[in-house]
Amino acid sequence: MKRLLLSLAILLTSVMAFAGEGMWIPMLLQYNEKEMQEMGMRITADDIYSINHSSLKDAIVLFGGGCTGEIVSDYGLLLTNHHCGFDYIQKHSSVEHDYLTDGFWAMDRSQELPCPGLSVIFLREMRDVTEKVLFNITDDMTEEDRQKTISENIKRITAEVEKQTEYKVSIKPYFLGNEYYLLLNEVYTDVRLVGCPPSNIGKFGGDTDNWVWPRHTGDFSVFRVYADPDGHPADYSASNIPYRPAKHLEISLKGADEGDFAFVFGYPARTSEYLPAVAVDQEANVIDPIAVRLRGEILDIYNTYQEQDKKVRIQYASKHAGLGNGWKKWMGVTEGINHFRGVQKKRFYEESFQEWALGARNRYMYIDLLKNFEQKYKELEPYRVAYTYLSNAGLNIEIFDFAGNFNKLSQVTKETPQEEIDKMITGLKKATENFFKDYYQPIDREVARTMLKEYLEHQPTDFRPGFLNEIKDVDAYVEQLFEKSLFADKDRVMEFLESFKPSKVKKLQKDPALLAYQSLIGFYRDEVNPKMGPINKEIDRMQRIYMKGQMAMEPEKRFSPDANFTLRVTYGKVEGFKPQDGKNFRHFTTLEGIMEKENPDIYDYVVEPKLKALYNSKDYGRYADKDGTMHVAFTASVHTTGGNSGSPILTADGQLLGLNFDRCWEGTMSDLVYDPDICRNISVDIRYVLFIIDKFAGAKNLIAEMDIVE
């Protein structure tokens, strides 16, 4: 009877994987095509990914190394999320030109703002190179020899292909190193800010609403990709012209109806769907709660000061968003894993895996895997905790992190070539300008006091950096730190750099902020990493074998590889959800909900006067839904994660329906454990995006560029 139940459990798991779960490799999408069309898709896999003709892949970009964007005009116009463009909006903002508060719109191309450091990447082709990468790999090799051989194979393959192409070549592991694919990418580095709504639209609801449904956030921004006159990638130049894409997305005004097929095409960053139960338990119930507590305390400090000073609010807007995003997500992961019994489900699956492994002699390599996972994660835990404190407490003290830029300079000698010193000085001057532009010392003082006290209270002596063990009184230490450190004052730093000579190195070497940074990094380098590294390598080896075993146990199941920041297709249905008894959410929100949330005393819930006027007059133009309301956002059962921010969510015909920007809080566990009944992605309705661009901003020049399908 037990064997029957376990077999049914395996079957159920396999069936569930077809209900929207999975991040699929676009070049292999033909294996999903039948199912996608049965669910309602009206295009083909070849329409989505092809190297023989233009396809949807040619309109999708990796934006800025951390998000996704899509080309929506024949002149390189690009849409992504407001939070994806946030850093660049913030960099262009000042008290005089507060684009965060007021928004920004280029009414012609001469007004578009360059964004140094921003790039977009187009995938031109994928190739399966598994056999070539794993050439000469045998089961009896040591892990060190295996990785050395793979590295040599990858280096050789890459060099061979680079001779034949103008594109950037990279090879990525899939299925935890059981398969490898080569990617040919084209990188464009002249990307300009075209438009963004005020934060009271683009970030409406702020951290309070982040990861929570219902959402009313107009999370979008507009950029443009430029190329040289021949259409090739080029650094910023006034002579560059708008990029002419092989494909751009059509935009649908149909709207998202319950039950509609939809798919997301983008660059998911990282998932770990095939981890053992012990790893999921450690992540959700040990590591994440520590990071949540530490970041929550820092965010409370940020909030207090940002509410008091408009300049400080601008300075710390991006930092707040970066800390707050992970803070709230990790809370949701812990809640979701525990509420929906994610660890227990993993352990139930492992019972079936263990029974399968014991069923035949040739499965000997799998028999002790689960037991060994338990042992290795137990060994790993104290070092992961130590690293969590280091990264979330120690290095979130800004003066320490900034001082780290000067570590190399502190090591120069009289023999160091002057040319090398001059290069360092130039870079450090730029780093200093950037740092102090968005730095407010009273915040950093309070963060330092709070984080150092947390560190000392919760981490034992042998699991914390040495400088902490010398602190007798945290408050006194912090006062002396900011009084004595060179790095507390911009003028002192710049004066030091202007007159720097190798003989002044001792001043750096004695600086308390740099000493603290060196202690933090030294602790990681000398104590944490040497212990974590070998354990993680062994876990990686075991995980690769476990992945291979899962695929062998369920040969009829279609497995999708974990996300690794490469282009993927995910699909499902537009639908609401029931996160718990008594809660039943519909799949969309409207502008009316923004008015219901309005609170002029809370920055995140201030409603723009013009938006309110448009609502009162119901002046929605052609962007209103058939029910007469202005839809803002919608949910779907499409498997997404970080990196999918800004990804297009597309209709059954491959037309743009909206921009993916978040997940529902109850389902943030989907990076570790996916539950199709509860995991929902959240997208801003493209009609709301167009409504804001057209009716609110009056940027009809941008609307005129797009192919809009009524």
Q: What confidence tens digit (pLDDT) does each residue in 640-698 have? A: 999 999 999 999 999 999 999 999 988 888 899 888 888 999 999 999 999 999 999 99
For residue 709, which of 252, 255, 257, 254 has the smallest C-alpha distance? Answer: 252
The confidence score (pLDDT) of residue 16 equals 40
Q: What is the mean pLDDT of residues 94-104?
A: 91
Q: Residue 266: which of 564, 563, 644 has the closest Cα? A: 644
How far is the C-alpha of 208 from the C-alpha of 217, rounded, in Å? 12
The answer to whether residue 19 scores a pLDDT higher than 90 is: no
**Segment 250-280, tens digit of pLDDT:** 999 999 999 999 999 999 999 999 999 999 9
Beta strands in 467-583, from DSSP E residues, in sequence order? 568-573
- Told to judge if 219 belongs to the known catalytic residues of this protein, a careful annotator would answer yes
Q: How far apart are CA 195 and CA 72, in angstroms?
A: 14
Cβ atoms within 10 Å, residue 433: 12
Task: Look up residue 501 and give its DSSP letter.
Answer: -
Report pLDDT for 210: 86
Q: Which pLDDT score, from 0 to 100, does residue 390 have?
A: 96
Average pLDDT, integer, range 473-492: 97
Smallest Cα–Cα separation from 614: which of 589, 588, 634, 595?
Answer: 595
Q: Are 667 and 606 spatial neighbours (Cβ–Cβ below 8 Å)?
A: no
Q: Which structure tokens are listed for 484? A: 């004595």
Mean model confidence pLDDT for the chain: 94
Q: Where is 378: in which H helix or E strand?
A: helix 369-392
Chain mean position to CA 44: 29
User: Can you name the residues that pair with 191 across neighbouring β-strands?
Assistant: 225
Catalytic pick from 252, 352, 645, 683?
A: 645
Tokens of 11: 């079957």
Q: Across residues 196-203, what is the average pLDDT?
A: 96
With respect to CATH, is domain 2-119+189-272+562-709 assigned 3.90.1150.10?
A: no
Residue 529 token pair: 């990493």
Identity (one letter) of the amino acid at 337? I
- Single out the catalytic residue among 82, 83, 631, 639: 83
Return the pLDDT at 666.
83
* Band of pLDDT at residue 18, cut at 50, 70 and 90: very low
**Is the Cβ–Cβ distance between 61 and 78 less than 8 Å?**
yes
CA 631 – CA 627 distance, rounded (Å): 9
Number of Cβ atoms within 10 Å of the Cβ of 420: 11
Alpha helices in 39-98 (DSSP H): 45-48, 82-91
User: In this structure, what token pair is assigned to residue 59?
Assistant: 């309109």
Which tens digits make up the pLDDT trace of 280-329? 999 999 999 999 999 999 999 999 999 899 899 989 988 998 898 889 88
Q: What is the pLDDT of residues 127-162, one digit of tens each?
A: 999 999 999 999 888 889 999 999 999 999 999 999
pLDDT of residue 594: 97
Q: Of residues 581 and 570, which shows the higher confidence score?
A: 570
Is 69's pLDDT higher than 70?
Answer: yes
Torsions phi, psi for 593 (to 5 deg): -65, -30
Q: What tens digit of pLDDT does each residue of 107-136 get?
A: 999 999 999 999 999 999 999 999 999 999
Task: State yes or no: pLDDT of 488 exceeds 60.
Answer: yes
pLDDT of residue 582: 76
| pLDDT, position 95 | 86
Least confident interval from 467-471, 580-584, 703-707: 580-584
**pLDDT > 70 fraction of the chain, expressed in percent and rounded:** 97
- Give the per-residue pLDDT at 581: 76
For residue 9, pLDDT beyond 70:
no
> Is residue 83 annotated as part of the catalytic site, yes or no?
yes
Residue 44 identity = T
Active site residue 410: no
Q: Which DSSP category does 231 fall into?
A: S
Between residues 330 and 361, the one the model is more confident about: 330
CA atoms within 13 A on the CB side of 341: 5
Pairing mode of beta strands 681-685, 631-636: antiparallel
Question: How far, in whole angstroms, is CA 94 from its chain's centroid?
Answer: 26
Structure tokens at 517: 């940074």
Q: Which amino acid is at 316?
A: Y
Catalytic hit among 190, 209, 219, 675: 219
Contacts 24+ apart (CB under 8 A), 73-76: 73/248, 73/705, 73/706, 73/707, 74/244, 74/245, 74/248, 74/705, 75/224, 75/242, 75/243, 75/244, 75/705, 76/224, 76/225, 76/226, 76/227, 76/242, 76/243, 76/244, 76/245
The DSSP-derived string for 592-617 is HHHHHH--TTSGGGPPPHHHHHHHHH
CA distance 205 to 203: 6
Q: Which amino acid is at 640?
A: T
Q: pTM score > 0.85 for this model?
A: yes
SS3 454: helix
Higher pLDDT, 93 or 162: 162
Per the CB < 8 A criterion, the answer to whether 484 and 463 are in contact is no
Cα–Cα distance measured from residue 346 to residue 354, given in angstroms and rounded to the nearest whole number = 12
Strand partners of residue 572: 262
Q: What is the tens place of the pLDDT at every residue in 494-529? A: 999 999 999 999 999 999 999 999 999 999 999 999
> Which pair of tokens denotes residue 481?
């730190």
Whether the bond into 229 is cis, omega within 30 of 0: no
Q: What is the pLDDT of residue 193?
A: 98
Average pLDDT rounded to a whole number, residues 163-183: 97
- Token pair, residue 680, equals 């929902």
Residue 1 has pLDDT above 60, yes or no: no
Confidence of residue 48 (pLDDT cuts 50, 70, 90): very high
**Tens digit of each residue's pLDDT (9 = 90 or more) over 386-408:** 999 999 999 999 999 999 999 99
Phi and psi at residue 280, to the nearest 5°? -65, -40
Single-letter code of the amino acid located at 518: Q
Helix 369-392, helix 288-306: angle, nearest 10: 20
13: pLDDT confidence band, cut at 50, 70 and 90? very low
Question: By three-state DSSP, how is residue 341 classified?
Answer: coil
CB–CB of 681/644 below 8 Å? Answer: yes
Q: Give the mean pLDDT of 446-466.
A: 95
User: Among residues 228, 268, 144, which one has the least CA distance to residue 560?
Assistant: 268
What is residue 706's DSSP assignment?
B
Residue ranges, CATH 2.40.10.120, the chain: 2-119+189-272+562-709
- For residue 659, the cross-strand partners are 648, 684
